[in-house]
Amino acid sequence: MAPRLSRALVMAALALSSVASAYNNYTSADMIQAQLELMASRPKDCPPCFNCNLPINSCGQFAPCNGYSGKCDCPAGFGGDNCLEPLCGSLPRGKNRPARQGKSCKCDEGWTGINCNVCTSDRACDAMTETGDGGVCYTGGEVVKQNYQMCDVTNRAIRDLLGAQVPQVTFTCEKESGECDFQFWVDERESFMCHLNECESSADFDTSGGKNTTSYKCEKIRCECIPDRMLCGANGSVDLTEFLVEVIRGPASFGCEQLPGGPKKCAFQEPEMNKLISDMFGDSSILLTCGAGECLYHTEVPGFAPEVPKINTPLIAGVIAGCSLFLVAVILGTWYLSRRQFKYGPIHLDDSDDEAIKLMTDHKPASLYFRDVRYNLNGKEILSGIQGMAHPGELTAIMGASGAGKTTFLDILARKNKRGNVSGEFYVNGEKVSDTDYKNATGFVDQEDTMLPTLTVHETILTSALLRLPRDMTRAAKEQRVFEVEKQLGIYHIRDSLIGSEEGKGRGISGGEKRRVSIACELVTSPSILFLDEPTSGLDAYNAYNVIECLVTLAKTYKRTVIFTIHQPRSNIVALFDRLILLAQGKAVYSGPLHQCQDYFDRIGYSCPPGFNIADYLVDLTMHAGSTTSFDDGTISLDVASVGPSSTRAVKSVASISGGSVGDDSTADASSSRPRSRRHDSVRFRQERELYTRRKQTADTAASSDAGDENGAYRLQQTPHRVPPHNLDEHDDLLPPAPTGTDLDILVHSYIQSDIAGSTHDEIQQAITAAVSSNGQNANGYSADGANINIPTMGRGYARVGYWRQFVLLSQRTWRNLYRNPMLMLTHYAIAILLAVFAGYLFYGLSMDIAGFQNRLGLFFFVLALFGFSTLTSLSVFSQERLLFVRERANGYYSPVTYFAAKVLFDIVPLRIIPPILLGAIVYPMTGLVPEVDKFLIFILVLVLFNLSAAAICLFIGIVCKDGGVANLIGSLVMLFSLLFAGLLLNHNAIPPAALWLQWLSIFHYGFEALIVNEVTQLTLIDHKIGIDITVPGAAILSSFGFDNQAMWPDIINLGIFGAVFIVLAYGAMHFLLVERR
């Protein structure tokens, strides 16, 4: 049989080849020869290849045969040459599904059935959609495209007949072709199959909770048995081959019913088959329980209708009311806190008195020595060759005319960071001390008062005490110290008054009171050396005396060293000085004890007349000594600009004594050279010649003022309005003018050659020598072998409060400043609520069409632009307190990181987190965005992170740019640049490749893409055109706009990274740029 079959196959192949060769103009002889050569190499026992074009080979499942390849085009889930082998895996694998190995298939996750064609989860269907998401496993049973069902036969008689072999049915229908396939399986092995044509499906879904029915009615049916299978002659079983082929003709139907919560009961019916079932098994048809599954895009599911956003009006009203109540509560809270009386109760002391006394006494007195101090700025010598000393228990005053270098010299003594080059030798108790130790034991009061206007006097001083006094000192002791200082400076009665400012709603305390508060902030620490720049500036005579008297008490009682600059003090204040350093044009005119000052100037020919304040006289003397003045020729060359107020006052004093008037003479002529004829007899001329001309007399000149003067010198008398006769043109008692044309060089040279300068130099050298002998150090602070010896020259150090305590104290101060000046915070809240309502009104109830997509783009763009430009207020977070921070940092109040953390915290929480939450809570329900909790939370998260990132950028710009106008310009340009690359104004795909990296720098791009992807990816938009509803997946539209559907979380992460990076950059800029440079 086999040889004859082989021969038949060969002859059939030759016949087909002959036909093909005739078609291609090949000769029969050539073709036959080629076939014979081909078959000559085949083994004799090789079976023939499967070819469905041959009569002996057929395709199972009624699959079509490919006339070119001779292969069967198998339906989904079937494979092998004849389509009788079940395939495993899942439908998304397509043609690459593995054949079944063994009895059963192992299906992919989310799939089931004998040949893994029935889906069980929506997620399993995502792979079969064009966008890779939005898939739905439709189990309703109604065919949409191609439906698959897996059924168990429930006919009891059939199941009993088969015993342990389970009967099952697979049923598949295709909507477009109207064809269905029915396979009957026994123990997962196919027995027979039927192919149904001209099928129509119907469904009735009872939405009220009744039964759901589906039905397939087919006009034609043809069936086949698989030889040697159960029910088809296997193992002596019944053989239905002839019945199925010859008798079954149709029509057939497949119908299902399902009650809520129950199984889907189905029946396969065909008249002849029903009769067979009835005769043999007693049932009306093949009864089944089925499970259906068809993968669809979610918009293709039967009964799907575009979701119309449901606007929850009560929710909107509640949210708006809640946000409004929150705003009202904030307003009332800030009003209450700002109106509350700032009263502090009595201080309950335990051993606080002992602690305060210990603070004042437990220290080593510090004598400050300095010599050859020089300072150069941009090649110009500002200070040169200054020496001197300041001892504990003494007040050292630095005096001089404006521009003499007093403040610069004080800064150098206090070791402030100067822009120029400083040189010289500085010693504390004869030893050199590191800058850190030096600054820890010194205090510095600036000339300009820099304090927070929203704090009270007591809060300002107490903050300084809590931050700078020893960590182990109790709060009660610190408050006691503040109380004592307030009493000493006469500001206790205003301790509960706000500092205030001219720009604020309340003026606050006076300028003189502010001056005393600034001094109090330094006095609370009781420093070993206290530096003050113009401590009496802005004070009246009485309060000025009180301030200096307080400094005297501090110096005398607690052995502190006090050094300060002062301008024109009253005589009773001058009497409190111990040492004086007089400067003129950066040079020392005098540096020594004050009680030797007048005798010294008498000896060098500059006597202070009786009735004159010695301080006024010396300041005026240095001014005139620096000018070019000649009284012995016909012209007076006078530097008019050098005549200060004290000179004018002196002129008026002379005028009042002589009974003259200074009306016209008090105003200098426009020219700097005036003929003697115009001024020879003026009171000012006589005054200046009498006071500032160097004379031959010695120190007893002034002492003989009451005796007769044979030369008739012009002198001030105690009797008012009386001037002794004197000839102003006589020059017998005058020394010749200085060769250089000024007397300044004479004053400087006279001091250098004086005994006072010599004794000062010797005392400095003795202190250095004593320190070397007592400590075994060289003058530079190092031992002979070069090792550093740590000697507590500044007294016992103490630990200040730690970082956490600094942060708490600064946070409290920042919070007070915020709620006492709440307009910025309240404006942010009010704008967020009002614009949220306005935007919700404009974009109310967004639709699911192209217009709705456009409105979503506009809404998100508007919200991001609102927050992006509102963060420009962060530019002023540090600019308003820039000077305060620089001064407090230089004076050692706190670490920069704690100040930065407190400022950032109270800018972030109230101004950058709460407003986005308020706006998002109102806008989201009003506009009808996706009503899912996770989507809403992501929406709020993106807004908050975007706001924080934009604020961090503006914070960095505000610190780097000192000028507010420049900072605003740069901040606005940065926001506009970032806005350009958001993705709305410029399509991602249209950006030139060379400029694509700029989009990575845009926080608007990250925020905008994250918001639109979060909202639109899962939506399906419907566009109605020419009477047709065109369904467009939201993901597809986003892709056409250049957005990445998978970029939401990367965008959120990038926003967080942007915010963190610029926070770090802002701190770095503050740490390295906001440093005091004088």
* H, E, C per residue of 810-866: HHHHHHHHHHHCCHHHHHHHHHHHHHHHHHHHHCCCCCCCHHHHHHHHHHHHHHHHH
Helices vs. strands in the chain: H and E counts, helices first: 35, 26
What would the mean pLDDT of 792-802 be, rounded to a whole number? 65
Q: What is the DSSP letter of 235?
A: G
Phi/psi at 269 (5° precision): -125, 140
Whole-angstrom distance, CA of residue 754 vs CA of residue 751: 5
Residue 682: pLDDT over 70: no
Q: What's the pLDDT band for 568 if we cut at 50, 70, 90?
A: confident
Residue 690 in tokens: 């009498």
Q: Which residues of 640-667 are buried (b: 16+ CB within 10 A; e: fewer)?
A: eebbbebbeebbbbbbebbebebeebee
Whole-angstrom distance, CA of residue 449 vs CA of residue 150: 88
Residue 519: pLDDT over 90: no
- Residue 329, pLDDT score: 83
Q: What's the pLDDT band for 712 if we cut at 50, 70, 90?
A: very low
- Residue 460, pLDDT score: 95
Task: Compute CA distances 538 → 485, 510, 542, 687, 714, whole Å.
Answer: 20, 9, 12, 29, 36
Domain map (residue ranges) of the chain = 2-40, 59-108, 117-300, 352-584, 627-736, 822-1073
Least-confidence region, from 206-215, 314-323, 392-401, 679-688: 679-688
Residue 632: pLDDT over 80: no
Residue 320 in tokens: 């708006």
Q: What's the pLDDT band for 644 if we cut at 50, 70, 90?
A: very low
**Residues comprising the chain, all counted:** 1078
% pLDDT > 90, the chain: 41
What would the mean pLDDT of 198-214 be, rounded to a whole number? 83
Residue 430: pLDDT over 50: yes
Residue 1077: pLDDT over 70: yes
Least-confidence region, from 243-252, 546-555, 667-676: 667-676
- Residue 174, pLDDT score: 92
- Residue 81, pLDDT score: 87
Residue 983: pLDDT over 70: yes
Q: What's the pLDDT band for 786 if we cut at 50, 70, 90?
A: very low
Q: What residues contact residue 581 under an 8 Å CB cut-off, 6+ apart? A: 386, 388, 396, 397, 398, 399, 409, 588, 590, 591
Nearest to 370 by CA among 581, 598, 597, 594: 581
- Residue 1033, pLDDT score: 80
- Residue 649, pLDDT score: 42
Q: What's the pLDDT band for 523 if we cut at 50, 70, 90?
A: confident
Q: How far apart are the first and last CA of the chain?
A: 116
Range of 67-71, 270-274, 731-735, 1033-1037 with top mean pLDDT = 270-274
- Residue 344, pLDDT score: 53
Q: What residues contact residue 911 under an 8 Å CB cut-off, 6+ apart? A: 824, 825, 828, 873, 874, 951
Q: What's the pLDDT band for 659 if we cut at 50, 70, 90?
A: very low
Whole-angstrom distance, CA of residue 815 vs CA of residue 909: 11
CA contacts within 13 A on the Cβ side of 234: 14
Whole-angstrom distance, CA of residue 647 vs CA of residue 636: 17
- Identify the burial level of 47 via C-beta atoms within 10 angstroms of its C-beta, where 0-12 means exposed, 13-18 middle and 19 or more buried: exposed
**Residue 1017 contacts residue 938 (beta carbons within 8 Å):** no
Least-confidence region, from 97-101, 709-713, 825-829, 883-887: 709-713
Residue 549: pLDDT over 80: yes
Nearest to 352 by CA among 478, 472, 461: 478
> Long-range contacts made by residues 837-840, C-beta under 8 angstroms, separation at least 24?
837/320, 837/922, 837/926, 839/863, 839/923, 839/926, 839/927, 840/316, 840/922, 840/923, 840/926, 840/927
Residue 687: pLDDT over 70: no
pLDDT tens-place string over residues 358-368: 655 556 789 99
What would the mean pLDDT of 806-825 be, rounded to a whole number? 90
Residue 720: pLDDT over 70: no
Partners of residue 256 on adjacent β-strands: 214, 266
More confident residue, 1035 or 390: 390
- Residue 308, pLDDT score: 64
Q: What residues contact residue 833 under an 8 Å CB cut-off, 6+ apart? A: 320, 323, 324, 327, 918, 919, 922
Q: What's the pLDDT band for 808 if we cut at 50, 70, 90?
A: very high
Using only C-alpha atoms, the chain has a radius of gyration, in whole angstroms, of 51
pLDDT tens-place string over residues 1038-1067: 988 889 989 999 999 999 999 999 999 999
To the nearest 10 degrees (0 to 180), the angle between helices 933-960 and 914-927 is: 140
Residue 475 in tokens: 């709060």
Q: What's the pLDDT band for 542 if we cut at 50, 70, 90?
A: confident
pLDDT tens-place string over residues 864-897: 999 999 999 888 888 888 899 999 998 889 999 9
Residue 63: pLDDT over 70: yes
Whole-angstrom distance, CA of residue 1066 vs CA of residue 952: 7
**Residue 64 contacts residue 58 (beta carbons within 8 Å):** no
Q: What is the dihedral of CA 684, 686, 692, 698, to 10 degrees?
A: -150
**Residue 192 contacts residue 244 (beta carbons within 8 Å):** yes
Q: What residues contact residue 1041 under an 8 Å CB cut-off, 6+ apart? A: 983, 987, 988
Residue 727: pLDDT over 70: no
Q: Helix H segments across 928-1047? A: 933-960, 964-980, 1003-1016, 1034-1040
Residue 648: pLDDT over 60: no
% pLDDT > 70, the chain: 79
What would the mean pLDDT of 195-223 be, rounded to a whole number? 87
Helix (H, G, I), strand (E, B) or coil at 979: helix
Residue 930: pLDDT over 70: yes
Residue 645: pLDDT over 70: no
Task: Compute CA distances 135 → 123, 126, 849, 968, 1037, whole Å.
Answer: 7, 4, 20, 50, 17
What would the mean pLDDT of 131-144 be, rounded to a whole number? 84
Q: What's the pLDDT band for 461 if we cut at 50, 70, 90?
A: very high
Partners of residue 218 on adjacent β-strands: 199, 252
**Residue 374 contacts residue 803 (beta carbons within 8 Å):** no
What would the mean pLDDT of 714-734 be, rounded to a whole number? 41
Nearest to 1022 by CA among 394, 467, 307, 396: 307
To the nearest 10 degrees (0 to 180), the angle between helices 1048-1073 and 1003-1016 is: 160
Count other C-beta atoms under 10 Å from residue 203's C-beta. Answer: 16
- Residue 610, pLDDT score: 83
- Residue 1035, pLDDT score: 85
**CATH architecture of structural domain 352-584:** 3-Layer(aba) Sandwich (3.40)
Q: Where are the beta strands (DSSP E) in 887-930?
A: none
Q: What's the pLDDT band for 725 if we cut at 50, 70, 90?
A: very low
**Residue 738 contacts residue 751 (beta carbons within 8 Å):** no
Mean pLDDT of the chain: 81
Partners of residue 264 on adjacent β-strands: 258, 290
- Residue 171, pLDDT score: 94
**Residue 121 contacts residue 280 (beta carbons within 8 Å):** no
- Identify the burial level of 343 via C-beta atoms within 10 angstroms of its C-beta, where 0-12 means exposed, 13-18 middle and 19 or more buried: exposed
Count other C-beta atoms under 10 Å from residue 265's C-beta. Answer: 17
